[in-house]
């Protein structure tokens, strides 16, 4: 936060409402797009003349084209937007409150969408990594046509890895930053438009550090199983927004480890 600034007062409703409506709108469009993909096929690839019916494909996927990769990347990025943007709303509103106060003082300020753009850019980086991981899993015949691993050993290992990560110092530090918007603003404030983008990227990176292992579980439960996608999104919000979020993370880690061990024992 700029030198000499004190804790900003919350935004009045007339300023808060447009931001919340914009966040809800972007998240809603993202979920509608995912629903369209779930009902009609991934990125419309089923309509391409050189692509067979995905449901009829065997465990080995056909080689991806550049268009296929771009469609999968877009799917992941839209999914991350719909899952993560709502839980970032307290941070976005606080950023807007700081800039409102700067505007009232006649100081230079930046629009809130620049911070939000930086946040989504961080998740765009994750989406690229997830797309590459999906490509590798399909090349290794470890994903079904429904984008879900059928290998109990891989599934069990991912559940255990995600559960163990819930107990790591990195998870704890990243979650603490996600849960404390004011601390983040006090320690990571940068002026100007580039500074707003940088702040958004940094906050998004903390959220990525908090949630990447949970997102990896989509390869276990089904990348396009929207019930599981919604459940993981709700859990992420609970970790970040509910009282005792650190304990929610740790308790869930124990359950994940136990379930993963069960899958390995049953394999």
Q: What pLDDT shows up at residue 64?
A: 87
pLDDT band at 104 (very low <50, low <70, confident <90, very high): confident
Predicted confidence (pLDDT) at residue 13 exceeds the cutoff of 80: no
CA atoms 29, 33, 121, 244: torsion sign: positive
Q: What is the DSSP letter of 2?
A: -
In tens, the pLDDT along 162-206 reads 999 999 999 999 999 999 999 999 999 999 999 999 999 999 999
pLDDT above 60 for 2: no
Q: Render pLDDT for 139-169 as a digit per residue (tens, 0 to 9).
A: 888 887 778 887 889 999 999 999 999 999 9
Its sign, for the CA torsion 151, 54, 125, 78, is negative
pLDDT in tens, 29-86: 999 999 998 888 664 444 333 333 434 334 445 688 999 999 999 999 999 999 999 9
The predicted model scores a pTM of 0.86
- pLDDT of 102 reads 84
List, in sequence order, every beta strand (DSSP E) within the chain. none
pLDDT(229) > 90: yes
CA atoms within 13 A on the CB side of 91: 35
Alpha-carbon separation of residue 197 from 12, 76, 116, 176, 242 (angstroms): 24, 21, 8, 21, 27
Q: How far apart are CA 236 and CA 154, in angstroms?
A: 23
Mean pLDDT computed over every residue of the chain: 87
Angle at 233 between CA 228 and CA 236, to 5 degrees: 125
* Cβ atoms of 145 and 45 closer than 8 Å: no
Q: Does the structure show a pLDDT above 60 at 256?
A: yes
| % of the chain surpassing 90 pLDDT | 66
- Long-range Cβ pairs for the range 108-116 (8 Å, 24+): 108/191, 108/192, 110/192, 110/193, 110/195, 110/196, 111/196, 112/19, 113/22, 114/193, 114/196, 114/197, 114/200, 115/196, 115/197, 115/199, 115/200, 115/203, 116/23, 116/85, 116/88, 116/92, 116/200
Mean pLDDT confidence for 105-131: 92
| CA 140 remoteness from chain centre | 25
**Using alpha carbons only, how large is the chain's radius of gyration in Å?**
20
**Do 2 and 101 meet the contact criterion of CB atoms below 8 Å apart?**
no
pLDDT at 105: 80
């Amino acid at each position: 936060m700029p030198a000499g600034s004190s804790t900003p007062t919350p935004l009045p409703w007339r300023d808060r409402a447009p931001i919340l409506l914009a966040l809800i709108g972007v998240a809603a469009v993202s979920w509608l797009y995912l629903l369209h993909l779930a009902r009609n096929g991934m990125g419309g690839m089923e309509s391409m003349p050189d692509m067979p019916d995905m449901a009829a494909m065997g465990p080995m996927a056909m080689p991806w084209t550049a268009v296929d990769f771009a469609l999968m990347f877009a799917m992941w990025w839209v999914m991350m937007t719909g899952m993560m943007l709502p839980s970032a709303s307290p941070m976005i509103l606080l950023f807007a409150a700081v800039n409102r106060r700067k505007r009232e003082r006649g100081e230079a300020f930046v629009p809130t969408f620049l911070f939000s753009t930086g946040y989504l850019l961080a998740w765009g980086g994750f989406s690229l990594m997830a797309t590459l991981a999906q490509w590798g899993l399909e090349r290794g015949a470890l994903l079904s046509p429904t984008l879900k691993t059928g290998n109990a050993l891989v599934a069990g290992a991912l559940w255990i890895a995600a559960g163990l990560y819930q107990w790591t110092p990195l998870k704890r530090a990243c979650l603490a930053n996600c849960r404390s918007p004011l601390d983040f603003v006090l320690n990571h404030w940068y002026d100007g438009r580039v500074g707003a983008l940088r702040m958004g990227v940094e906050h998004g990176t903390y959220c990525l550090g908090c949630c990447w292992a949970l997102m990896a579980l989509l390869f276990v439960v089904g990348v396009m199983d929207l019930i599981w996608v919604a459940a993981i999104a709700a859990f992420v919000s609970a970790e970040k927004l509910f009282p005792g979020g650190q304990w929610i993370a740790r308790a869930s880690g124990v359950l994940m480890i136990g379930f993963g061990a069960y899958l390995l024992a049953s394999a």
